[in-house]
Copies of this chain bind each other. A is one copy, B any other.
C-alpha cells in the first residue's frame, strides 16, 4: 500500500495500472481486490492515509516549538520549502485533483476537505502568531505553496519555486503586519 502511494505519486493515478502496483509491491491483483473494492477505492484510501500523515505534521510543529506560534510559522515555511526542493513531483492531493477531471469522483471530497483543513490550520497559526491579517496571510502562504509545488513540475527545480522560502518570509514580514520588528 505504501507502494501504491509512491507509484500513484510518481506516475499519476491514471498513469499506473493496478497490476504494476501489485507487482511492485510483491503481490498480485487478487490480493489487492480482496482489500479494496476498486481502484477508485484504493486511490481514496491512499489519499486518506496521506491526509493523516499531513495532519501529524501539524502536531509535530506544535511539539517542536510548544507555545511559540511564531517559531511554528517559520518552521512551517521551512518544512514546505524542504518539500519542494529535491526531485519532487508535486502534491499528491492537487495532482490527483487535476488528473480526476470528473467532479463527482469520491476522491474529490477528500481532497477538498483536506485542503480546507490545512488552510484553516494555517490561518489559526497566523492568528496565534499575531499577524494583523491572518486570513489574508494564510491565503497567500497557501497559494504560494500550491503554486510552488506546481511550478516545480512545469519549470523545474531552478524556477520560482526555489525562491519560495524568501517569498513566504516576505509575506509574514510585510503583509501579515507583525509591526516592523517582530
- Interface residues of A, Cβ cutoff 8 Å to B: 10-12, 14-15, 89-90, 93-95, 97-99, 101, 111-112, 115-116, 119, 136, 139-140, 142-151, 153-156, 159-161, 163-164, 166-167, 170-171, 174-175
Contact = CB atoms under 8 A, between A and B. Distances in A.
Q: Lowest 6 A-B CB distances belong to which pairs?
A: A143-B147, A147-B147, A146-B147, A139-B160, A174-B174, A97-B154
Given A160-B119, A166-B136, A93 B154 contact: yes
Nearest to A16: B101
Chain A interface main SS type:
helix
Contacts of A139: 160, 163, 167
Nearest to A111: B154
Contact of A150 (B94, B163, B167): B94
